Amino acid sequence: MSGDRSEDLVASPSQTVGPFFHFGLTTDATRGVMAMRGAPGEPVRLRVQVIDGAGEPVPDAMVELWQADARGQYGAAAQGSAGADRPFAGWGRLPTGGDGICEFTTIRPGVPATVDDAATAAHINVCLFMRGLLRHLFTRVYFAGDPALDADPVLALVPAERRETLVAQPAGDGVWMFVIHLQGDRETAFFDE
Amino acid sequence: MTKGQAMHDNPLRGSQPPLLHPDYRSTVLRAPMRPLIQLPASLSDVSQPVYGHLGVSAADADLTRHGPSGEPLGERIVVAGRVVDEDGRAVPGALVEVWQANAAGRYIHARDRHPAPLDPNFIGAGRCETDAEGRYRFTTIKPGAYPWRNHENAWRPAHIHFSIFGTNFLTRLVTQMYFPGDPLMAHDPILLGVPDERARRRLVSAFDFSLTTPEWALGYRFDIVVRGPGSTPFEGRT
């Protein structure tokens, strides 16, 4: 399709975010707050942990999330981070800590009411950056126990034995745990999209 | 024309780095080993509208004015360019974030142990939004090269990190801008992770007299292309 494109109009090559992005990209801790208290929807504290191929936590990853609001709509807020006058942002960005973990405050997304998307299960999209990744990775967080998982058309593209790598588990008090394994037996399913 | 030549003439081919690139050692334990799962555009959320900006002020784009006691040391430069998509359309309102080492090759980051001096008047982080024509512009100082421990006598060429965040994740891009003529580029596993030499050249800024301000600052142009609607995902570009 793109074979006849001028090389000047080919997407610029990606390069790693490197180990020293924090002072440039993640100085604002409020970007972990995707939904304020009072935003419509079920409150979720999504704890994301990143583990490398040696089984060690990745302490220098940057995690970005985006998601629909409680009605299943994207970009409804469309104005940046959550704040007093805008309880839902739909986007977040945090660095992992020494334990490879970062925790986002958000709500469980809704599912679009449109007919053709009816089979989609609620999910949060993940974009992952780190030293050692020359390009970013995409994956998705689904919620354990959701009866819609079986009919989700994206999960259907994932080999059955790997689907659970995309399913966050409840850890009590509104906390959901999502562990990203970059390699190994439990390697998370990543998407090219 | 042979098949090999035909593939080479596809400008997408080799324009993005593979995930596993052992010459860049950190990829070995961090690159996923299994094939990425292809998601058709109809199921993907990368085109869904997202807007992650906080207020950006004009002062954020001048990295030479962020010090408490004056200007940073180093060669003052202007870095400017346009962000367009693969259909050539301007990307207005994109958040452009940059971060870099100081003129001595040292980051302000706590984990940077390179024994080069910090500059009390240089933080090295800036941001701006592209205008209606997709243009951005920063004033900064030219960063220094610095050593890293990837291999014996490894040095990163001077570079400025760029993060582009438009109105969806289709256009998300994190990359690095290099400087023309830097001899370290030929030895850098991160830049060389991009297989196609023509693509690598597009990460090298161009010295530009039209951006150079008399008696003030040298100018470098760095234009950026992001994916557009319906465009090929990354794996088809390695």
Q: What is the pLDDT of residues A50-95, one digit of tens each?
A: 999 999 999 999 999 999 999 999 986 555 556 655 688 899 999 9
Q: Which residues of chain B have a CB within 8 Å of the CB of A15? A: 17, 161, 174-176, 190-191, 193-194, 203
Which of the four pLDDT bands, split at 50, 70 and 90, describes residue B1?
very low
Tens of pLDDT along B17-34?
A: 999 999 999 999 999 999
- Closest partner CB to A14 (pick from B10, B38, B173): B173
pLDDT for residue A66: 96
Q: A172 in a domain, yes or no?
A: yes
- Closest partner CB to A193 (pick from B28, B176, B233): B233
pLDDT for residue A1: 42
Which of the four pLDDT bands, split at 50, 70 and 90, describes residue B208?
very high
Q: A8 in a domain, yes or no?
A: no
- Among chain A residues, CA nearest to B33: A183
Gap between the Cα atoms of A49 and B114, Å rounded: 29
Gap between the Cα atoms of B82 and B94, Å rounded: 10
- Closest partner CB to B203 (pick from A12, A182, A189): A12
Tens of pLDDT along B61-112?
A: 999 999 999 999 999 999 999 999 999 999 999 999 999 999 999 999 999 9
| Interface residue B15 vs chain A (CB under 8 A) | yes
- Among chain A residues, CA nearest to B93: A79
Tens of pLDDT along A17-33?
A: 999 999 999 999 889 99
Q: A137 in a domain, yes or no?
A: yes
| CATH code of the domain containing A80 | 2.60.130.10
Tens of pLDDT along A83-135?
A: 655 688 899 999 999 999 999 999 999 987 655 555 789 999 999 999 999 99
- Positions of B marked catalytic: 107, 146, 156, 159, 161
Assess whether pLDDT exceeds 70 at residue B7.
no
| Interface residue A20 vs chain B (CB under 8 A) | yes
- Closest partner CB to B227 (pick from A11, A20, A191): A11
To the nearest whole number, what is the mean pLDDT of chain B? 94
CB pairs under 8 A between A and B: 243
Q: Which residues of chain A have a CB within 8 Å of the CB of B50? A: 66, 74-75, 90-91
Say whether A9 and B87 touch across the interface (CB within 8 A): yes
Contact A10, B225 (CB under 8 A): yes
| H or E stretch at B8 | helix B3-9
Quote the number of domains for chain A.
1
pTM for the full model?
0.95
Q: Which residues of chain B have a CB within 8 Å of the CB of A27? A: 125
**Residues 6+ positions from A146 with CB-CB distance below 8 Å:** A121, A122
Tens of pLDDT along B30-62?
A: 999 999 999 999 999 999 999 766 679 999 999
| Helix/strand/coil for B5 | helix
Q: A118 in a domain, yes or no?
A: yes
Which of the four pLDDT bands, split at 50, 70 and 90, describes residue A3?
very low
Gap between the Cα atoms of A123 and A114, Å rounded: 16
| Interface residue A185 vs chain B (CB under 8 A) | no
Q: Which residues of chain B have a CB within 8 Å of the CB of A9? A: 84, 86-88, 225
Q: Residue A159 is part of which domain span?
A: 13-181
| Helix/strand/coil for A170 | strand
Gap between the Cα atoms of B36 and B41, Å rounded: 15
Q: A82 in a domain, yes or no?
A: yes
Which of the four pLDDT bands, split at 50, 70 and 90, describes residue B205?
very high
Q: A47 in a domain, yes or no?
A: yes
Say whether B15 and A31 touch across the interface (CB within 8 A): no
Q: A152 in a domain, yes or no?
A: yes
Gap between the Cα atoms of A145 and A24, Å rounded: 38
With CA atoms as reference, report the closest residue to B107 among B86, B123, B84, B127: B123
Say whether A66 and B19 touch across the interface (CB within 8 A): no
Q: How far is CA A151 from the centre of its chain?
A: 20
Gap between the Cα atoms of A53 and B213, Å rounded: 49
Assess whether pLDDT exceeds 90 at residue B156.
yes
With CA atoms as reference, report the closest residue to A188 among A169, A170, A163: A163
Tell me how close the Cα of A171 comes to any Cα of chain B, in angstroms: 26
Q: A103 in a domain, yes or no?
A: yes
How large is the ipTM?
Answer: 0.95
pLDDT for residue A172: 95
